[in-house]
Every structure is written in structure tokens, then in C-alpha cells.
Amino acid sequence: MLNPAALNLLYFARLREAFGRDRETVVMPEPATVDGLLATLQGRGGVWADELSAGRNFRVAVNQTVSGRDQPLRAGDEVAIFPPVTGG
Amino acid sequence: MAERDRIAVQTAAFDVGAETARLAALDRGIGAIASFVGLMRDQNNGDAVQAMTLEHYPGMTESALADIVAEAHGRWALMGTTVIHRVGPLHPGDPIVLVLTASAHRGEAFAACEFIMDYLKTRAPFWKHETTASGGRWVEARDSDDNAAARWNR
């Protein structure tokens, strides 16, 4: 089955500013993964390609849990992309 | 056990005395409460800092803090904890974060308090944006915080 998966993306802090948005919906063909989503976003070029390139330090959380790049994504998942945390 | 652990993310300041009293009243077997208060400094990386804004990820922040507190309970015999983290605009001298840990004796309270702070610094989704004379900037994560958290791996 190759149903498209609509993902709810969130961006925080420096990445929210760099991307000029705090959220958006992105539709990916299933089966989707974090890696596939990142490749799609990098494909936009410009700041997306720069900020999400392999050498940059950022985290991805799926449904509010920090996840690895091979994490599968399903329709309706909340996917947050953010810089390393600096609270406390 | 209801109310044993209190986790809050808020813009308002906190009252260390009132929070300590709340914990102390939970159980007369509590013999030690360790506390940590993090304050906003007026400098960072050699620059004067005039103000700060703390951003967070509502929902994940609370669950990340709850996970950290749960892990602390698994490691030490704690009788209650409090974690309060402020968000929004802050100024030098303002309290940012409060961690209280209650146990029968001081050793477990001290260790758990430090553990919760070390994990909070590296796992809870907060971000600091600071204002200096030359403009605004996002605070970069520090390797020393990762190293502090890694001490607790086993």
C-alpha cells in the first residue's frame, strides 16, 4: 500500500527562525521514514539544504520522543525538528 | 501516589520556601530535601547579556521532565520531587529553574537533584535566546552539559 502520509511538522528556536515558519503539513509517500522526510526537506534547497545537511547538529522528535533517522513515519505523526536543547 | 511529584512549566516566578514546605509535608519520613535554583546570569561567552527569552515545546517538555523524574525514582529512594522551569522573557538575576528532591537521607537527595538537572539540560526541549548589545542570538549547546549527563550512564 502506498498511501500518502500527511505529517505535522514543527520547528523550534533557531530552525523556526531560519525556516520562517513554526509548523507545516508535508505529505510523504508511505513507507516514510525520518531520513526520507529530511531528504525531501533538503530538496527545497537554500536554508533547508544548509540547516538539515549531514554535518549539522539538530534533533528530530516523532510524536514528542527523540527519534533516530530510520524511524518509520505514519499519517498524522507529529515530527519536530529542533537544535540541541539549552534549558536549565 | 498523587502529588508526590510536581512538574510545572510556567512564566511566573516560583517560591522556593513554599515549594520546599509542600514537599516536607508529604511524609514525616523525609529527612532531607536537596534544592537547586538556576539563575539567569548577566553574561555569557564573554558578552554582557541584557535579557533572555526561553522557548519550549509544549507537551514534549512536560513528558520529557516526567521521564527524567521517573528515571530518578528508579535510581534513588525518593519520597517526592519538584521540577519547575520558567519560559518566556527573563532578566539577569531571575530564577530560571527549580529542582527539589526529598528522601530519607541526604545522599540520595543530593545525587538525584544533580541527576535531574544534568538530564534536564540535555533532554528537555528548552531553548534560550539572549539579547546582547550587538543583538539577539540563540545560545549554543555546550559539550560540558553532554559530558555531565553522560556521567550517569551505566
**Chain A residue with the nearest C-alpha to that of B85:** A88
What pLDDT does residue A3 have? 66
Interface of A with B in 3-42 (CB under 8 A): 10, 12-14, 17
d(CA B84, CA B68): 13
Q: Note the pLDDT of residue A11.
A: 98
Q: What confidence score (pLDDT) does residue A2 get?
A: 55
**E-strand stretches of chain B:** 5-10, 32-39, 43-44, 47-56, 78-86, 88-90, 95-103, 126-132, 135-138
pLDDT, one tens digit per residue, over A27-79 is 999 889 999 999 999 999 999 999 999 889 999 999 999 999 999 999 999 99
pLDDT 10s digits, A23-40: 999 999 988 999 999 999
The dihedral through the CA atoms of B19, B111, B144, A56 has a sign that is negative
Cis bond before residue A31 (omega within 30° of 0): yes
- The C-alpha cell 513528558 sits at B63
pLDDT score for B2:
41
How near does any CA of chain B get to the CA of A1, in Å? Answer: 31
Tell me whether residues B125 and A10 touch, CB distance under 8 A: no
Alpha carbons A31 and A76: distance in angstroms, whole number: 13
Q: Do A12 and B55 touch (CB under 8 A)?
A: yes
Is the ipTM higher than 0.90? The answer is yes
Element (H, E) at B67: helix B60-75
Q: All domains of chain B, ordered by start, with CATH?
A: 5-150 (3.90.1170.40)
Question: Which residues on chain A are in Cβ contact (under 8 Å) with B86?
Answer: none
Q: What is the mean pLDDT of each run of 10 residues along chain B (154 residues)?
A: 84 98 97 98 95 98 98 98 98 98 98 98 98 95 93 87
pLDDT-derived band at A5, boundaries 50, 70, 90: confident
* Residues B43-60: tens digit of each pLDDT: 999 999 999 999 999 999
